[in-house]
Amino acid sequence: MTTGPGSKKTAQSPTPKKSAVTVKWARRLEVGREVLRNPLTVIGLTIIFLFLMMAVFAPLLAEPNQPDPYQSPRDWSNIDSPPGVAGHVLGTDSTGGDVLYGIIWGSRLSLQLSVTVVLFTLVFGTMVGSIAAMRGGRIDNLLMRIVDVFLSIPELIFALAIAAVLGPSFSNIILALAAVFWVKYARIIRGEIIKVKQADYVAAARVVGDSSWNIYRKDVLPNAATPLIVQATLDMGNVVLIGATLSFIGLAQAGLTEWGALVSAGQSGLLAGEWWVSTFAGLAIVLWALAFNLVGDGLRDVLDPKTEGR
Protein backbone atom coordinates (compact mmCIF):
# COMPACT_ATOMS: atom_id res chain seq x y z
CA MET A 1 0.00 0.00 0.00
CA THR A 2 1.62 3.20 -1.11
CA THR A 3 0.63 6.49 0.35
CA GLY A 4 1.48 9.89 -0.99
CA PRO A 5 2.48 12.75 1.27
CA GLY A 6 -1.05 14.07 1.13
CA SER A 7 -2.71 10.93 2.40
CA LYS A 8 -0.10 10.59 5.14
CA LYS A 9 -1.16 13.91 6.50
CA THR A 10 -4.75 12.85 6.77
CA ALA A 11 -3.74 9.63 8.46
CA GLN A 12 -2.05 11.58 11.23
CA SER A 13 -4.71 14.22 11.59
CA PRO A 14 -6.77 14.60 14.74
CA THR A 15 -6.61 11.55 16.93
CA PRO A 16 -10.09 10.43 17.96
CA LYS A 17 -11.23 12.34 21.00
CA LYS A 18 -11.51 10.18 24.06
CA SER A 19 -12.58 11.53 27.39
CA ALA A 20 -11.36 10.04 30.64
CA VAL A 21 -14.75 8.40 31.07
CA THR A 22 -14.46 6.51 27.80
CA VAL A 23 -11.05 5.27 28.81
CA LYS A 24 -12.52 3.99 32.04
CA TRP A 25 -15.20 2.08 30.20
CA ALA A 26 -12.69 0.70 27.75
CA ARG A 27 -10.80 -0.72 30.69
CA ARG A 28 -13.94 -2.24 32.18
CA LEU A 29 -14.66 -3.83 28.84
CA GLU A 30 -11.18 -5.28 28.92
CA VAL A 31 -11.89 -6.84 32.31
CA GLY A 32 -15.13 -8.20 30.93
CA ARG A 33 -13.36 -9.78 28.00
CA GLU A 34 -10.84 -11.39 30.29
CA VAL A 35 -13.62 -12.81 32.45
CA LEU A 36 -15.24 -14.33 29.40
CA ARG A 37 -12.05 -16.18 28.53
CA ASN A 38 -12.77 -18.63 31.36
CA PRO A 39 -15.22 -21.29 30.07
CA LEU A 40 -16.54 -22.04 33.57
CA THR A 41 -17.46 -18.40 34.05
CA VAL A 42 -19.26 -18.43 30.72
CA ILE A 43 -21.25 -21.48 31.83
CA GLY A 44 -22.15 -19.71 35.08
CA LEU A 45 -23.19 -16.56 33.23
CA THR A 46 -25.32 -18.60 30.84
CA ILE A 47 -27.15 -20.33 33.69
CA ILE A 48 -27.74 -16.99 35.42
CA PHE A 49 -29.00 -15.53 32.17
CA LEU A 50 -31.43 -18.44 31.67
CA PHE A 51 -32.73 -18.06 35.22
CA LEU A 52 -33.18 -14.34 34.65
CA MET A 53 -35.14 -14.97 31.49
CA MET A 54 -37.20 -17.50 33.39
CA ALA A 55 -38.00 -14.95 36.09
CA VAL A 56 -38.81 -12.18 33.65
CA PHE A 57 -40.99 -14.28 31.36
CA ALA A 58 -42.61 -16.38 34.10
CA PRO A 59 -46.15 -15.29 33.15
CA LEU A 60 -45.53 -16.50 29.58
CA LEU A 61 -43.96 -19.79 30.63
CA ALA A 62 -46.63 -20.68 33.13
CA GLU A 63 -49.96 -18.96 33.34
CA PRO A 64 -50.11 -17.09 36.66
CA ASN A 65 -52.36 -18.57 39.28
CA GLN A 66 -55.13 -16.27 40.53
CA PRO A 67 -55.22 -14.44 42.86
CA ASP A 68 -51.68 -15.17 44.09
CA PRO A 69 -49.25 -16.31 41.40
CA TYR A 70 -46.75 -17.36 44.09
CA GLN A 71 -49.06 -20.18 45.17
CA SER A 72 -48.99 -23.17 42.86
CA PRO A 73 -52.32 -23.95 41.21
CA ARG A 74 -53.80 -27.10 42.77
CA ASP A 75 -54.71 -29.91 40.44
CA TRP A 76 -56.57 -32.17 42.86
CA SER A 77 -57.08 -34.81 40.21
CA ASN A 78 -53.34 -35.31 39.81
CA ILE A 79 -51.77 -35.74 43.23
CA ASP A 80 -48.21 -37.04 43.45
CA SER A 81 -48.11 -37.75 39.75
CA PRO A 82 -44.66 -38.50 38.30
CA PRO A 83 -43.04 -36.35 35.59
CA GLY A 84 -44.59 -36.68 32.18
CA VAL A 85 -48.22 -36.89 33.22
CA ALA A 86 -50.33 -34.79 30.93
CA GLY A 87 -50.01 -31.11 31.77
CA HIS A 88 -47.35 -31.70 34.42
CA VAL A 89 -43.93 -32.00 32.78
CA LEU A 90 -42.07 -32.33 36.07
CA GLY A 91 -44.90 -33.96 37.99
CA THR A 92 -46.93 -32.69 40.94
CA ASP A 93 -46.55 -32.69 44.72
CA SER A 94 -48.81 -34.15 47.39
CA THR A 95 -51.27 -31.26 47.11
CA GLY A 96 -51.43 -31.34 43.36
CA GLY A 97 -49.10 -28.38 42.89
CA ASP A 98 -47.22 -28.36 39.58
CA VAL A 99 -43.45 -28.66 40.17
CA LEU A 100 -42.47 -26.85 36.96
CA TYR A 101 -44.79 -23.97 37.87
CA GLY A 102 -43.15 -23.80 41.30
CA ILE A 103 -39.68 -23.69 39.86
CA ILE A 104 -40.54 -21.05 37.27
CA TRP A 105 -42.27 -18.70 39.69
CA GLY A 106 -39.78 -19.59 42.40
CA SER A 107 -37.00 -18.11 40.27
CA ARG A 108 -38.66 -14.72 40.78
CA LEU A 109 -38.59 -15.15 44.54
CA SER A 110 -34.98 -16.33 44.46
CA LEU A 111 -33.94 -13.37 42.38
CA GLN A 112 -35.82 -11.03 44.67
CA LEU A 113 -34.18 -12.62 47.69
CA SER A 114 -30.65 -12.46 46.24
CA VAL A 115 -30.85 -8.93 44.96
CA THR A 116 -32.50 -7.37 48.02
CA VAL A 117 -30.31 -9.12 50.55
CA VAL A 118 -27.03 -8.61 48.69
CA LEU A 119 -27.76 -4.99 47.82
CA PHE A 120 -28.76 -4.11 51.34
CA THR A 121 -25.92 -5.98 53.04
CA LEU A 122 -23.37 -4.63 50.57
CA VAL A 123 -24.37 -1.02 51.20
CA PHE A 124 -24.87 -1.35 54.93
CA GLY A 125 -21.77 -3.46 55.50
CA THR A 126 -19.65 -1.09 53.44
CA MET A 127 -20.93 1.86 55.42
CA VAL A 128 -20.17 0.29 58.78
CA GLY A 129 -16.79 -1.04 57.69
CA SER A 130 -15.81 2.26 56.10
CA ILE A 131 -16.73 4.30 59.16
CA ALA A 132 -14.77 1.92 61.35
CA ALA A 133 -11.69 1.99 59.14
CA MET A 134 -11.71 5.70 58.34
CA ARG A 135 -12.37 6.85 61.91
CA GLY A 136 -10.26 4.26 63.66
CA GLY A 137 -9.69 4.31 67.38
CA ARG A 138 -12.66 3.85 69.67
CA ILE A 139 -15.35 3.90 66.99
CA ASP A 140 -13.50 1.21 65.08
CA ASN A 141 -13.21 -0.86 68.22
CA LEU A 142 -16.89 -0.52 69.08
CA LEU A 143 -18.17 -1.33 65.59
CA MET A 144 -15.85 -4.26 65.14
CA ARG A 145 -16.83 -5.79 68.48
CA ILE A 146 -20.46 -5.64 67.34
CA VAL A 147 -19.40 -7.34 64.11
CA ASP A 148 -17.54 -9.95 66.16
CA VAL A 149 -20.70 -10.74 68.10
CA PHE A 150 -22.58 -11.31 64.86
CA LEU A 151 -19.77 -13.39 63.41
CA SER A 152 -19.50 -15.59 66.48
CA ILE A 153 -22.91 -17.11 65.82
CA PRO A 154 -23.10 -19.54 62.87
CA GLU A 155 -24.95 -17.71 60.11
CA LEU A 156 -27.56 -20.38 59.47
CA ILE A 157 -28.51 -20.69 63.13
CA PHE A 158 -28.60 -16.93 63.56
CA ALA A 159 -30.79 -16.45 60.50
CA LEU A 160 -32.98 -19.26 61.74
CA ALA A 161 -33.39 -17.65 65.14
CA ILE A 162 -34.30 -14.26 63.67
CA ALA A 163 -36.73 -15.71 61.16
CA ALA A 164 -38.33 -17.87 63.84
CA VAL A 165 -38.83 -14.88 66.14
CA LEU A 166 -40.31 -12.75 63.36
CA GLY A 167 -42.67 -15.47 62.25
CA PRO A 168 -42.98 -17.44 59.00
CA SER A 169 -43.12 -15.19 55.95
CA PHE A 170 -40.96 -14.60 52.93
CA SER A 171 -40.14 -10.99 53.82
CA ASN A 172 -38.98 -12.12 57.25
CA ILE A 173 -36.56 -14.50 55.56
CA ILE A 174 -35.16 -11.53 53.65
CA LEU A 175 -34.80 -9.57 56.88
CA ALA A 176 -33.15 -12.46 58.68
CA LEU A 177 -30.64 -12.99 55.89
CA ALA A 178 -29.86 -9.29 55.68
CA ALA A 179 -29.20 -9.18 59.41
CA VAL A 180 -26.72 -12.03 59.05
CA PHE A 181 -24.87 -11.23 55.85
CA TRP A 182 -23.85 -7.59 56.33
CA VAL A 183 -21.11 -8.37 58.87
CA LYS A 184 -18.94 -10.10 56.29
CA TYR A 185 -18.89 -7.00 54.12
CA ALA A 186 -18.08 -4.77 57.07
CA ARG A 187 -15.11 -6.98 57.92
CA ILE A 188 -13.80 -7.23 54.38
CA ILE A 189 -14.06 -3.54 53.55
CA ARG A 190 -12.56 -2.50 56.88
CA GLY A 191 -9.51 -4.68 56.32
CA GLU A 192 -9.09 -3.47 52.76
CA ILE A 193 -9.47 0.20 53.67
CA ILE A 194 -6.94 -0.05 56.45
CA LYS A 195 -4.54 -1.58 53.95
CA VAL A 196 -5.25 1.02 51.26
CA LYS A 197 -5.07 3.90 53.73
CA GLN A 198 -1.36 3.17 54.26
CA ALA A 199 -0.69 3.64 50.56
CA ASP A 200 1.44 6.56 49.49
CA TYR A 201 -1.17 7.72 47.03
CA VAL A 202 -3.53 8.45 49.90
CA ALA A 203 -0.80 10.50 51.55
CA ALA A 204 -0.14 12.12 48.18
CA ALA A 205 -3.80 13.09 47.91
CA ARG A 206 -3.61 14.65 51.35
CA VAL A 207 -0.44 16.45 50.35
CA VAL A 208 -2.25 18.28 47.58
CA GLY A 209 -4.93 19.34 50.03
CA ASP A 210 -7.76 16.92 49.26
CA SER A 211 -10.61 16.54 51.75
CA SER A 212 -11.15 13.30 53.66
CA TRP A 213 -14.44 12.57 51.93
CA ASN A 214 -12.92 13.07 48.49
CA ILE A 215 -9.99 10.86 49.39
CA TYR A 216 -12.37 8.17 50.58
CA ARG A 217 -14.48 8.46 47.46
CA LYS A 218 -11.72 8.55 44.87
CA ASP A 219 -8.63 7.01 46.38
CA VAL A 220 -9.71 4.62 49.09
CA LEU A 221 -13.01 3.02 48.09
CA PRO A 222 -12.25 2.19 44.44
CA ASN A 223 -9.03 0.47 45.47
CA ALA A 224 -10.63 -1.42 48.34
CA ALA A 225 -13.84 -2.54 46.65
CA THR A 226 -12.64 -5.44 44.52
CA PRO A 227 -13.05 -8.19 47.15
CA LEU A 228 -16.54 -6.84 47.82
CA ILE A 229 -17.59 -7.38 44.23
CA VAL A 230 -16.38 -10.97 44.37
CA GLN A 231 -18.02 -11.58 47.74
CA ALA A 232 -21.29 -10.08 46.54
CA THR A 233 -21.36 -12.37 43.52
CA LEU A 234 -20.71 -15.42 45.66
CA ASP A 235 -23.37 -14.31 48.13
CA MET A 236 -25.98 -14.06 45.37
CA GLY A 237 -25.81 -17.85 45.42
CA ASN A 238 -25.27 -18.33 49.15
CA VAL A 239 -28.31 -16.24 50.05
CA VAL A 240 -30.60 -18.47 48.02
CA LEU A 241 -28.99 -21.52 49.57
CA ILE A 242 -29.58 -20.37 53.13
CA GLY A 243 -32.96 -18.87 52.24
CA ALA A 244 -33.97 -22.26 50.86
CA THR A 245 -32.83 -23.89 54.08
CA LEU A 246 -35.02 -21.54 56.07
CA SER A 247 -38.10 -22.18 53.97
CA PHE A 248 -37.26 -25.89 53.98
CA ILE A 249 -37.60 -25.83 57.74
CA GLY A 250 -40.94 -24.17 57.25
CA LEU A 251 -40.27 -20.51 57.77
CA ALA A 252 -41.97 -19.51 54.52
CA GLN A 253 -45.77 -19.60 54.17
CA ALA A 254 -47.12 -22.99 53.23
CA GLY A 255 -47.49 -23.61 49.54
CA LEU A 256 -45.19 -20.76 48.49
CA THR A 257 -43.48 -21.35 45.17
CA GLU A 258 -40.13 -21.03 46.84
CA TRP A 259 -37.51 -23.61 45.91
CA GLY A 260 -36.62 -24.46 49.49
CA ALA A 261 -40.30 -24.80 50.36
CA LEU A 262 -40.75 -27.10 47.36
CA VAL A 263 -37.90 -29.32 48.48
CA SER A 264 -39.54 -29.42 51.87
CA ALA A 265 -42.93 -30.29 50.38
CA GLY A 266 -41.47 -33.17 48.41
CA GLN A 267 -39.51 -34.52 51.32
CA SER A 268 -42.29 -36.66 52.74
CA GLY A 269 -42.75 -38.35 49.41
CA LEU A 270 -39.07 -39.23 48.98
CA LEU A 271 -39.28 -42.49 50.92
CA ALA A 272 -42.35 -43.47 48.97
CA GLY A 273 -40.32 -43.18 45.78
CA GLU A 274 -41.78 -39.84 44.77
CA TRP A 275 -38.39 -38.33 44.03
CA TRP A 276 -39.31 -35.67 41.51
CA VAL A 277 -40.52 -32.82 43.70
CA SER A 278 -37.48 -32.47 45.93
CA THR A 279 -35.03 -33.36 43.17
CA PHE A 280 -36.11 -30.80 40.60
CA ALA A 281 -36.50 -28.02 43.13
CA GLY A 282 -33.17 -28.96 44.68
CA LEU A 283 -31.58 -28.95 41.25
CA ALA A 284 -32.76 -25.38 40.71
CA ILE A 285 -31.14 -24.31 44.00
CA VAL A 286 -27.91 -26.11 43.17
CA LEU A 287 -27.73 -24.62 39.68
CA TRP A 288 -28.40 -21.11 40.98
CA ALA A 289 -25.76 -21.33 43.69
CA LEU A 290 -23.29 -23.03 41.37
CA ALA A 291 -23.73 -20.45 38.63
CA PHE A 292 -22.98 -17.54 40.93
CA ASN A 293 -20.03 -19.37 42.45
CA LEU A 294 -18.55 -19.98 39.02
CA VAL A 295 -18.92 -16.33 38.09
CA GLY A 296 -17.59 -15.19 41.48
CA ASP A 297 -14.51 -17.37 41.13
CA GLY A 298 -13.95 -16.16 37.60
CA LEU A 299 -14.23 -12.55 38.70
CA ARG A 300 -11.80 -13.11 41.53
CA ASP A 301 -9.23 -14.63 39.20
CA VAL A 302 -9.35 -11.58 36.98
CA LEU A 303 -9.77 -8.81 39.54
CA ASP A 304 -7.46 -10.18 42.18
CA PRO A 305 -4.88 -12.40 40.52
CA LYS A 306 -2.87 -12.65 43.72
CA THR A 307 -5.27 -15.12 45.32
CA GLU A 308 -4.94 -18.51 43.72
CA GLY A 309 -8.15 -19.43 41.96
CA ARG A 310 -7.72 -23.17 42.05
Partner 1 sequence: MSQDWLLKVDNLSVRFQSRGGDAHAVEGVSFEIQRGETLALVGETGCGKSVTARSILRLVPEPPGKYVAGSIKLNVEGKGVVDILSASTKEVMAIRGERISMIFQDPGKALNPSLTIGSQLAEVFGQHRVEMILESAGIEPARASRAEKRIAKQRASFVQLRFFQLTRRSKAAALQKSIDDAVARSLADTGIPNPRKIMKSYPHELSGGMKQRVMIAQALACDPDLLIADEPTTALDVTIQARILELIQDMQKRRGMAVLYITHDLSIVREFADRIAVMYAGHIVETGPAQEVLANPQHPYTNGLLGAIPHRRTPRGQLAAIPGSVPQLIDPPEQCHFASRCQWAAEACLGHVPQLHTIQPNRKVACFRFEEAESLSVAKTDMPIPAEISGEARR
Where does this chain bind partner 1 (CB under 8 A)?
Answer: 18-21, 23-24, 27, 137, 199-201, 203-211, 214, 218-219, 222-223
Residue (93 or 219) nearer to partner 1, CB: 219
- Smallest distance from partner 1 to CB 217, Å: 9
Residues 6+ apart with CB under 8 A from 71: 65, 255, 256, 257
Q: Is 92 helix (H, G, I), strand (E, B) or coil?
A: strand
Cα distances (Å, whole numbers) of residue 52 to 72, 81, 103, 231, 291? 20, 28, 13, 20, 12
- Least distance to partner 1 from the beta carbon of 306, Å? 14
Closest contact distance (angstroms) between CB of 227 and partner 1 is: 14
Report the nearest approach of partner 1 to the CB of residue 27 (Å).
Answer: 7
Closer CB to partner 1, 173 or 224, in the complex? 224
Backbone angles phi, psi at 233, to 5 degrees: -60, -45
Comparison of 139 and 254: residue with beta carbon closer to partner 1: 139
Judge whether 281 and 262 are in contact, CB under 8 Å. yes
Among 128, 107, 125, 129, CA closest to 117: 125
Q: Which is nearer to partner 1, 59 or 222 (by Cβ)?
A: 222
Comparison of 67 and 209: residue with beta carbon closer to partner 1: 209
Alpha helices in the chain (DSSP H): 5-12, 20-36, 39-56, 58-61, 99-135, 137-152, 155-166, 170-197, 200-207, 212-215, 221-224, 226-249, 259-270, 276-303
- DSSP-derived letter for residue 275 is -
- For partner 1, the closer of residues 75 and 210 by Cβ is 210
CB nearer to partner 1: pick between 98 and 219: 219
Nearest approach, Cβ of 79 to partner 1 (angstroms)?
54
Is the alpha carbon torsion for 104, 172, 176, 192 positive or negative?
Answer: positive
Query: At residue 85, what are phi and psi to the nearest 5 degrees?
Result: -65, 145
* Least spacing, CB of residue 207 vs partner 1, in Å: 5
Q: What are phi and psi of 147, to 5 degrees?
A: -60, -40
Nearest to 177 by CA among 230, 219, 114: 114
